[in-house]
């Protein structure tokens, strides 16, 4: 263990001179990067970024919900995040009569702010290296399952010792570098979060899926919430008596504007990256997994679009579902294309060959070959699991039956149904369910399943049913005409003793049989993954030793001085870079900023994604921009920079050299989405919403300028 820690520390120390804007750095260790940050223009100290002794910028950043970032922008708990992060809450409050998705929502006073059941935000209180605690009792002779059990027990004990009975305090222990290092993260969670404002979707989602992941962007992707607390400023369940939360720190807002070359850094919760994986798995992702998942989601999106264009009610019902399906769908396209364009597989193969040569005679000899074979073994089963997720679980009625079975039907045969959960799940499901969409998706996906899955790998049940009914269409008719799970009145009539009705159902049978088929493949994939994780743990250590070896020889790193930083895992990180355009292809150069003029150029009332509100057209025609203009008299909208981001960074504050807010992150450019696997400074750009456009929209579209009274501005 001591050797492991020394290797990690050595690696972290040896990469201080890395020059590329790559990396997702732990805030508690940012002192190791602060020299480079300051050399690039940053004017604050490491203590200003992260401190447990005084208020710091970390105290103004929150984990929003379960997978986004938000930031405090006033001493009254006002919180800024993306429109797509708050989308589910906006959708829940929307109806045909009050369509906040279409029309936007603006509370004109505190009493009009809307509560959001189930939504939480979490502040990081502290993080620390707990490797020695988590691996206490570890012996190298232990099998991997024994080590895993030890880690689990020690982690649970540590978390319990910290959180105790305090339900508002959360703690997690996260493995870094594939388990070579363990960090503790302690959070304070608030649950009274109210919607304050959101622009119409025609602004907040301008460009829709056509512009998603693309540059130039013109999307006003923001929403406003407010954190409420008890009168003691501590977390409290929703109550009309709660008061606005008083944060330790909030961001000042810069209205000075940005220009190419300006220093930027991002504070947020990036979700997941795979920067150190083997070339064979990169090949599988780019050549097999991503293309197949894209094809399957294309089928669903075409069906969604058809029905959503025909009905406002269906558009509201499926708006969040479509966004969730489409986001990854387009990202996977860019990721696969970027991997091929950057020749990532070839580059990694060359590195692995050099590593293998160096590893001869060491504990790492043969390691890359072992990982390659494990990747091939895993791919065989992972492929089938992917298909299950993208087809079987995409059948909404079956997924609903699975949820009812898991959450409402006890294991004991004579036990009554959990009716509280049953009613809640039923109401939530039917609120956003449209049977014709589900039927058509089922038909398209089962036809794809039949075509793509080899005969020897197909479930016996699937083959029998397709033969019995002759087509996916006829099978769908039978299932949906004979199930209770798509009939709200019948489901609403279920009582706590009606277990048999729910279980003796064709859709429930479909879900059970198809799940039984995938379980062995999922189990084998999990088993192989465990072996692969163990191999990667050794490989990670080996890469760091190899880098030290090359540095000692004065040869540098074959990957271009690649910095070793932990893969993202939805923990708080800092990424820094600078505002910069890019050239995606020969003869093409993209400027680093966009303006309101670009929105007007794209405006088209005949195309849903480009049909802006009439008042925005009127404001532009009258040039009624107020003080939210740049030096050219244009309203800035978005900008791009070289910060290393991924999913989870949505809503992250983008901060200038003085620590002031200049924008919020919401996307990456399509050509650089392979940055989860291979960051390239020439093509990888994060896309952010300029804070001046946010202020312009609050002022001119929302008529909510009263909110400025609680903000602090700098120029």
What 304-312 contacts at long range (C-beta under 8 Å, 24+ apart), as own/partner pairs, is 304/437, 307/434, 307/436, 307/437, 309/608, 312/96, 312/99
Half-sphere exposure at residue 121, Cβ-oriented, CA atoms within 13 angstroms: 33
Parallel, antiparallel or unpaired: strands 593-595 and 636-641: antiparallel
Angle at Cα 203 formed by Cα 201 and Cα 206, nearest 5°? 85
Q: How far is residue 121's CA from residue 126's CA, in Å, rounded to a whole number?
A: 16
User: How big is the chain by its Cα radius of gyration, in Å?
Assistant: 26
Establish whether 309 is a catalytic residue: no
490: which residues sit within 8 A by CB, 6+ positions away?
A: 484
Q: Long-range contact list for 550-554, CB < 8 A, 24+ apart?
A: 551/14
CB distance 261 to 285 below 8 Å: no
- Sign, CA torsion 77/82/88/94: positive
> Which residues, other chains included, contact 428 with Cβ-Cβ below 8 Å and sequence gap of 6+?
none
CB 127 within 8 A of CB 186: yes
Residues 542 and 94: their CA atoms lie apart, in Å, by 53
Which SS3 state, helix, strand or coil, does residue 197 take?
Answer: strand
522 is catalytic: no
Q: Within 10 Å of residue 495's Cβ, how many Cβ atoms?
A: 11
8 A C-beta contact, residue 43 and residue 24: no
Catalytic-role residue among 221, 262, 386, 660: 221
Residue from 78, 15, 18 nearest 250 by CA:
78
381, containing H or E segment = helix 367-387
- Hey, how many other C-beta atoms are within 10 angstroms of the C-beta on 377? 16
Q: d(Cα 436, Cα 489) in Å, to the nearest integer?
A: 18
Closest CA to 265 of 465, 36, 485: 36
From 84, 218, 382, 578, active-site residue: 84
Of the candidates 254, 286, 593, 650, the residue annotated as catalytic is 650
Q: What are the structure tokens assigned to 352, written together?
A: 């692995």
For 32, how many CA atoms within 13 A lie in the half-sphere containing its CB?
20
Two structure tokens written together for 378: 């895993």
Q: Tell me the HSE value of 591 on the side-chain side, using a 13 A CA sphere.
A: 9
Cβ neighbors of 161 (< 8 A, separation 6 or more) are none
For the record, the structure tokens of 18 come out as 């890395």
CA angle 81, 575, 87 (to 5 degrees): 20
CA dihedral defined by 84, 90, 92, 98, rounded to 10 degrees?
A: -140
Pairing of strands 253-254, 713-714: parallel
Contact present, 668 and 279 (Cβ < 8 Å):
no
End-to-end CA distance of the chain: 50
- 221 in active site: yes
User: 485 is written with which tokens?
Assistant: 């799970």
Q: Is the distance from CB of 181 to CB of 129 less than 8 angstroms?
A: yes
DSSP notation for 130-171: -HHHHTTT--TTS-HHHHHHHHHHHHHHHHHHHHTT-TTEEE
Please state, in angstroms and rounded to a whole number, the distance separating the CA atoms of residues 272 and 646.
7
What is the number of other CB atoms lying within 10 angstroms of the CB of residue 370? 17
Catalytic residues, by residue number, are 84, 221, 650
């Amino acid at each position: 263990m001591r050797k492991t820690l020394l290797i990690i520390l050595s690696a972290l120390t040896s990469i201080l001179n890395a020059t590329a804007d790559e990396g997702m750095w732990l805030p508690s260790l940012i002192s190791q990067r602060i020299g480079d940050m300051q050399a690039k223009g940053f004017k604050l100290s490491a203590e200003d970024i992260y401190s447990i002794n005084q208020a710091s910028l970390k105290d103004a950043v929150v984990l929003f919900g379960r997978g986004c970032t938000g930031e405090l922008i006033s001493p009254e708990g006002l919180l800024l995040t993306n429109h797509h992060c708050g989308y589910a809450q906006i959708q829940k409050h929307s109806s045909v009569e009050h369509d906040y998705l279409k029309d936007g929502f603006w509370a004109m006073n505190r009493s009009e702010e809307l509560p959001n059941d189930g939504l939480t935000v979490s502040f990081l209180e502290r993080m620390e290296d707990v490797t020695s605690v988590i691996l206490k009792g570890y012996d190298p002779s232990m099998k991997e399952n024994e080590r895993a059990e030890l880690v689990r027990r020690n982690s649970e004990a540590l978390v319990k010792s910290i959180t105790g009975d305090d339900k508002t305090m959360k703690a997690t222990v996260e493995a870094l570098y594939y388990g070579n290092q363990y960090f503790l993260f302690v959070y304070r969670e608030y649950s009274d979060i109210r919607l304050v404002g959101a622009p119409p979707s025609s602004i907040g989602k301008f460009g829709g899926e056509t512009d998603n992941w693309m540059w130039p962007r013109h999307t006003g992707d923001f929403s406003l919430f407010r954190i409420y607390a008890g009168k003691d400023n501590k977390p409290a369940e929703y109550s009309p008596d709660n008061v606005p939360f008083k944060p330790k720190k909030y961001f000042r807002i810069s209205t000075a504007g940005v220009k190419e070359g300006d220093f930027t850094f991002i504070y947020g919760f990036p979700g997941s990256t795979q920067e150190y994986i083997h070339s064979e798995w990169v090949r599988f992702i780019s050549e097999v997994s991503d293309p197949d998942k894209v094809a399957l989601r294309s089928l669903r999106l075409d069906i969604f679009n058809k029905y959503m264009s025909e009905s406002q009610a269906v558009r509201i019902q499926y708006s969040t579902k479509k966004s969730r399906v489409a986001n990854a769908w387009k990202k996977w396209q860019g990721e696969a294309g970027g991997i091929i364009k950057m020749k990532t597989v070839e580059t990694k193969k060359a590195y692995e060959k050099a590593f293998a040569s160096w590893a001869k005679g060491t504990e790492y000899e043969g390691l890359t070959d072992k990982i390659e074979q494990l990747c091939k073994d895993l791919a065989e089963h992972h492929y089938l699991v992917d298909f299950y997720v993208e087809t079987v679980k995409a059948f909404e009625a079956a997924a609903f039956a699975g949820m009812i079975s898991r959450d409402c039907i006890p294991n004991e045969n004579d036990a009554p149904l959990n009716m509280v959960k049953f009613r809640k799940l039923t109401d939530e499901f039917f609120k956003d369910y449209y049977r014709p969409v589900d039927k058509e998706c089922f038909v398209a996906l089962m036809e794809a399943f039949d075509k793509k899955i080899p005969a020897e790998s197909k479930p016996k049940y699937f083959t029998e049913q397709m033969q019995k009914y002759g087509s996916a269409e006829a099978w769908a008719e039978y299932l949906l005409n004979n199930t209770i799970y798509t009939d709200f009145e019948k489901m609403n009539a279920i009582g706590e003793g009606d277990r048999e009705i729910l279980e003796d159902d064709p859709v429930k049978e479909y879900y059970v049989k198809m799940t039984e088929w995938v379980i062995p493949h999922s189990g084998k994939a999990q088993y192989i993954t465990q072996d692969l994780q163990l191999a990667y743990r050794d490989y990670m250590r080996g890469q760091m030793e190899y880098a030290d070896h090359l540095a000692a020889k004065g040869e540098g790193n074959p990957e271009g001085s690649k910095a070793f930083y932990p893969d993202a895992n939805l923990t708080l990180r800092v990424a820094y870079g600078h505002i910069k355009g890019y050239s995606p292809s020969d003869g093409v150069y993209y400027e680093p900023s966009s303006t309101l003029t670009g929105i007007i150029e794209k405006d088209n009332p005949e195309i849903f994604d480009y049909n802006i509100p009439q008042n925005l057209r009127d404001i532009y025609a009258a040039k009624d921009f107020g003080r939210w203009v740049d030096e050219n008299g244009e309203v800035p909208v978005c900008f791009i920079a070289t910060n290393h981001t991924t999913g989870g960074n949505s809503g992250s504050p983008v901060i200038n050299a003085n620590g002031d807010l200049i924008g919020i992150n919401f996307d990456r450019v399509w050509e650089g989405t392979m940055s989860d696997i291979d960051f390239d400074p020439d093509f990888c750009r994060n896309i952010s919403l300029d804070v001046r456009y946010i202020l312009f929209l609050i002022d001119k579209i929302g008529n909510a300028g009263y909110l400025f009274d609680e903000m602090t501005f700098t120029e």
